[in-house]
Homo-oligomer: A and B are copies of this chain.
Amino acid sequence: MVVTKLHETGVAVMRLDPADLPGKALMSADYARGDFEGHLSVNGHVLSMGGLDSVWVRRPGEPAAHAPRPSVWLTAETHQALFGMLYSASARWMNHPRNADQARLKPWQLRTAHLSGFAVPPTAITTSPRLAQQFAKEHGDVVVKSASGPPPGDPALALPTTLVGPDPDFSAVAAGPALLQRYIPKRADIRLTCVGTQLFAARKAAEPGQVDGRYGDTGHAWEAVPVPVRIGRSVHEYVTLAGLAYAAFDFAEDEESIWWFLECNQGGQFGFVELETGQPISEAVARWLSQRKGRRTT
């Protein structure tokens, strides 16, 4: 969707899968005379680093993964060469990998959400069965989540957010950290997509008692909703602290219309929201990416 929009407006786009370097792609960077020049070439198309305005990071492959003789060492060397060159350019990033890595840490998200003024459900992350027990006792209804998302390579082991039953056995917490959160009885799921300074909020009504809106079909659709002023301020604060140009926030809306911060995914999908609500998110991304150096407004 984004690439189509960029093509429509005549913006030059180069697509690179780092897995294709070396091979289909070629790179060369020159650090001399106090200056830096770099070139990237894919299928005969050449891009100069001086002409690179923005980088959109979209599930990149592992450097050198498609090489005839891949190895851990070749991946490390190619990662060094490619990202070292890209970091040397004065492009802006959606999102810079350095900030993206930090923003993936869920406990850090919770802290940053607090600092940004969001309502955040009380949460504990622990390897202590005793403290897990204590947290569940103090907060009544509690859900358990995975901190890092579905296990790689085994989607069957994905852990949907799950309500903890009465009198639970927390002994397994000692074997791996658990993320426990006070259950927010919700009226709706909110997905807020932030692109630069543009915000798009969408709402999907929840079935009573539904815990994880990502799994299963509720029969409700995503609908565009306005962004409350206070939420807008907190979003701005959050992405500034995190150094993110793009972020997808998930909230639970409770019976009192409070939006509770659940998580912020720096690489979250937006296609499904755009398709259901008609919100011009891909256009906003394309516009952000196509701003030229020295002519940036947001």
Give residues in A with beta carbon < 8 Å to B. Answer: 21-22, 25-36, 64, 67-69, 71-74, 76-85, 87-88, 98-99, 101-102, 104-111, 114, 120, 122-128, 131, 135, 146-149, 151-154, 157, 174-177, 179
Contacts and interface: CB of A to CB of B under 8 A. Distances in A.
25 contacts: A22-B177, A28-B128, A28-B131, A29-B107, A30-B135, A31-B111, A31-B114, A32-B123, A34-B120, A36-B114, A67-B176, A68-B175, A73-B148, A73-B152, A73-B157, A74-B176, A76-B148, A80-B105, A80-B107, A81-B147, A84-B109, A84-B110, A84-B147, A87-B102, A88-B111
User: Nearest 6 pairs between A and B by C-beta?
Assistant: A84-B107, A81-B177, A73-B151, A32-B122, A88-B111, A76-B148
B120 A174 contact: no
What number of copies of this chain does the assembly contain? 2
Contacts of A149: 76
A111 to B, nearest CB: 4
Contact of A31 (B73, B120, B154, B157): B120
A127 B176 contact: no
